[in-house]
């Protein structure tokens, strides 16, 4: 029986083979590409369930590969990036990638990220009643109400919109510009100080509900933006954390 199909794009042969072997052992069907051209050929031929993409490729920029895939599909894309390539990472996330890992990374971490984005790709963001949920947090889009462990939380309209965007992107990394555009509009894409203030306020308000630790709900990705926890997050939080 074969598992989800992965398209692994990496021009370093040794690194690619090691990763491919590991992923095959974990039950994935792996297609390997060493160039952007080969990646596009395999993408056209097989339509993998997930793409792992090194941005520094010998022929084309990896970001072009992301754009090409995004024109055709919402297939999850995880960037495999070299340390220090902040601009590239941001460019890749802006072009529609779901997440990134900085090399060198632990294969267990890669596997966890793969499972998270595949899970997200499999299910609708909101249930039939229009509720978004993450752990004890519930956002009712019809009544515009937010509760944590059934206790109502008072949010301003901006805070509510911000939480809505975050809960709609569980398990993803969102760049600052993307969040600003989504919540405040195009004209605010550079105003990352706003975002910082609102994210902190939101963290504080959600965590103020007694007895519920929301440590790790919205993680800061320095220089990039924010990572939203996914459904696995609660299982990783100790039941009586001192957060």
CB of residue 56 to Ca ion, shortest distance in Å: 4
Nearest residue (CB) to Ca ion, 11 versus 145: 11
- Stretch in the footprint of Ca ion (CB under 5 A) among 11-19, 98-106, 108-116, 136-144: 11-19
CB of residue 54 to Ca ion, shortest distance in Å: 4
Nearest residue (CB) to Ca ion, 59 versus 140: 59
- Contacts to Ca ion from residues 36-65, by CB under 5 A: 54, 56
The contact mask relative to Ca ion for 188-207 (x = CB under 5 A, - = no) is --------------------
d(CA 131, CA 31): 37
For the chain, the first-to-last Cα distance in angstroms comes to 43
Give the sheet arrangement for strand 137-140, strand by strand: 131-134, 137-140, 145-148, 151-153
H helix intervals, 47-106 = 62-72, 86-94
User: Among 108, 163, 155, which Cα is nearest to 134's?
Assistant: 163
> Closest residue to Ca ion, Cβ-based?
56
Among 3, 4, 5, 11, binds Ca ion (CB under 5 A): 11
CB of residue 150 to Ca ion, shortest distance in Å: 49
Nearest residue (CB) to Ca ion, 56 versus 96: 56
Nearest residue (CB) to Ca ion, 56 versus 216: 56
Using DSSP's 3-state secondary structure scheme, residue 165 falls into helix
- Stretch in the footprint of Ca ion (CB under 5 A) among 4-12, 125-133, 155-163, 173-181: 4-12
Please, are residues 43 and 11 in contact by the beta-carbon 8 Å criterion? no
Tokens of 179: 């969040």
> Residue 229 belongs to what H/E stretch?
none
d(CA 5, CA 24): 10
Nearest residue (CB) to Ca ion, 35 versus 141: 35
Binding site for Ca ion (CB under 5 A): 11, 54, 56
């Amino acid at each position: 029986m074969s598992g989800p199909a992965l398209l692994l794009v990496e021009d370093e042969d040794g690194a690619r083979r090691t990763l491919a072997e590991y992923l095959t052992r974990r039950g994935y069907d792996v297609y390997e590409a060493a160039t952007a051209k080969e990646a596009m050929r395999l993408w056209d031929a097989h339509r993998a369930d997930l793409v792992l993409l090194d941005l520094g490729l010998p022929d084309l920029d990896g970001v072009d590969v992301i754009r090409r895939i995004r024109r055709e599909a919402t297939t999850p894309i995880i960037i495999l990036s070299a340390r220090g390539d902040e601009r590239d990472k941001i460019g890749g996330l802006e072009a529609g990638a779901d997440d990134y890992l900085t090399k060198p990374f632990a294969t267990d971490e890669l596997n966890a990220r793969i499972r998270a984005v595949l899970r997200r790709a499999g299910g609708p963001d909101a249930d039939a009643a229009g509720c978004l949920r993450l752990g004890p947090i519930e956002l009712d889009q019809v009544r515009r109400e937010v509760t944590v462990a059934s206790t109502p939380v008072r949010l301003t309209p901006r805070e509510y919109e911000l939480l809505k965007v975050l809960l709609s992107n569980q398990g993803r990394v969102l760049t600052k510009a993307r969040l600003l555009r989504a919540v405040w509009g195009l004209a605010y894409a550079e105003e990352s100080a706003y975002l910082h203030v609102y994210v902190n306020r939101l963290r504080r308000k959600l965590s103020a509900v007694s007895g519920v630790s929301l440590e790790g709900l919205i993680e800061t990705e320095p220089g990039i933006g924010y990572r939203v926890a996914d459904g696995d997050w609660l299982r990783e939080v100790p039941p009586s954390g001192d957060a």
